[in-house]
Amino acid sequence: MREDSMRQNSNQVVLDAADDYAYLDEWMKASVHKCLFLVCGASIRKMRIDRYFETLEKRLGIQVVRFSAFQPNPTYESVVAGVNAFLESDADAIAAVGGGSAMDVAKCIKLYSGMDHNVCYLEQEIISNDIPFLAVPTTAGTGSEATRFAVIYYEGEKQSVAHESCIPDAVLVDPEALRTLPPYHRKAAMLDAFCHAVESYWSIKSTEESRRLSVEVIRMILHYLDSYLGNEQEGNVGMLKAANMAGRAINITQTTAGHAMCYKLTSLYGIAHGHAAALCVRELWSWMLSHGDQCIDARGREHLAQVFDGLANAMGCDGPQAAARSFFTLVERLELQAPVIREEDYMILTKSVNLTRLQNHPVALDKETLEQIYRKIGRSDIES
C-alpha cells in the first residue's frame, strides 16, 4: 500500500478518500480475499460510498453482503442475527458504515463470530481474532472507530462490551459521508468529540499520551469549527480526524461523570447523546473548579490544578474559569438548550448514574451533588 495513502494511528491505518477511493481499493486488495460483510443502515444510500460497495465485485472481484437488521441502541438479538448472517455469508472481512450503532454491531459480530454459538455470548470469555475490519464513520463525534468499546442492549439493559480485538484495522476518512448530516446532529456529534477530549484530559486514568491527544483534539475542533458547521470539505475532514483522535484518547482513559450522567437525559428527553454530554460537562466543569478540595485523583490537587490550566491553554483561554465560560458559550452559540426537566425526573436522573463509573472522575461526586448538578442543567437560562 502506498505510504501517502494513509497515516498510522497506533496499529490502525487511517485512509484518505481521495482519488475516488483509490487508497481504499489498495486496502481491499490487501485485506479481503473474496467477500466483505458490510454492516450499514439505510442512510448509506444517500452517500457516495454506497456506489463504491455496489461496484466492488465488478471492479475487484470482492462480493459484498449487506446487513442492516439493527436499530439505534442495538439489541443483543440483532447482533446474534448479524453473527449468523456473517457465518452464512462465508465473508472473510467486515466493514461498518455509519455512526455508533453500526460500529457497535459490527464490533460485536467480529468478536462473537468465533465463539460458542450455543451459549449466550455475553457470558463467554472473548477470544481474539484477526478478521480484517474497516470502519467508515458517518458522524464526526463518537470516535467509536478508534475504541475497544461497544454497547448493546440485552433484555432492555445496557451491556458494555470491551476487547482490543474489536478496534477496526482501518478507518476511511470520507468528508462526503458528512454531507447529508442534519445541522442538529452535526453540532451534537462535534460536542461529543469535544467532551471526549475534555473528559479524557481530566480523567484519573489520563496519561501523557492521552493528554497530548486531547489537547490536539480541542485545538483541531476549534480550528475547524466554522468550516465544519458550514459543511465544507476541509472542516469535515478535520472534524473526522479530531473525532478519531478523541476516540483514541478515550480508549486509553474511558469517560468520566459527563458521560455517566448524560445517558438518561438522552432517553428521557430525546436529545442527542453529544448534546446531553455537553450539558453535563459544562456544569461539571465550573462545579469542579470550586470543589478542588474533593479531589480523588491520586496525583493530588496540584495535578488537578495543572489539568485545568492545560485545558485553558488548549482552548486559548486566560485561565481555568475563562475556559469553563468559553465552553458554556460554545454550547449556547450552537443553540443547544437544556430541556425543561420535570421535578419528578431529578430523582430518576440521579439514580440512573452508575456510581462505579464515577470512580474515573477526579473530583468526588455523591448522589446529593449529582442532583444539584442536574438542577443546574435544568436551569438553562442561568449561566454557570
**The predicted structure's pLDDT at residue 354:** 83
The pLDDT-based confidence of 241 (bands split at 50, 70, 90) is very high
330: number of CA atoms within 13 Å, CB side?
A: 25
78: number of CA atoms within 13 Å, CB side?
A: 21
| 160, amino acid identity | S
Mean pLDDT over residues 184-190, rounded?
97
Tell whether the model's pLDDT for residue 372 goes beyond 60.
Answer: yes
CB 44 within 8 A of CB 63: no
Mean pLDDT over residues 205-227, rounded?
98
Mean pLDDT over residues 259-282, rounded?
95
Using alpha carbons, select from 363, 210, 208, 211 the residue that is nearest to residue 300: 363
Mean pLDDT over residues 53-79, rounded?
96
Confidence (pTM): 0.92
**The predicted structure's pLDDT at residue 381:** 45
**The predicted structure's pLDDT at residue 218:** 98
Give the integer Cα–Cα distance in Å for 366 and 291.
Answer: 13
SS3 call for 7: strand
Give the integer Cα–Cα distance in Å for 117 and 86.
Answer: 13
| 213, amino acid identity | L
Mean pLDDT over residues 236-253, rounded?
97
Tell whether the model's pLDDT for residue 3 goes beyond 50.
Answer: no
Using alpha carbons, select from 278, 281, 273, 275 the residue that is nearest to residue 256: 281
Give the integer Cα–Cα distance in Å for 5 and 170.
Answer: 12
Residue linked to cell 469553563: 324
E strands in 82-199: 93-98, 133-137, 149-154, 157-162, 170-173
| C-alpha cell of residue 251 | 480508549
Give the integer Cα–Cα distance in Å for 310 and 312.
Answer: 5
- The conformational region for residue 118 under phi > 0 = left, psi -120 to 50 = alpha, else beta, is alpha
> Sign of torsion, CA 350 353 355 358?
negative
**The predicted structure's pLDDT at residue 287:** 97
**The predicted structure's pLDDT at residue 2:** 37
Q: Which residues pair with 133 in a beta bridge?
A: 94
Tell whether the model's pLDDT for residue 384 goes beyond 80.
Answer: no
Tell whether the model's pLDDT for residue 257 goes beyond 90.
Answer: yes
What does the pLDDT look like over 69-128, one tens digit per residue? 999 889 999 999 999 999 999 999 999 999 989 999 999 999 999 999 999 999 999 989
**The predicted structure's pLDDT at residue 10:** 59
The pLDDT-based confidence of 380 (bands split at 50, 70, 90) is low
Give the integer Cα–Cα distance in Å for 47 and 138.
Answer: 9
Q: How far is CA 148 from the centre of its chain?
A: 11
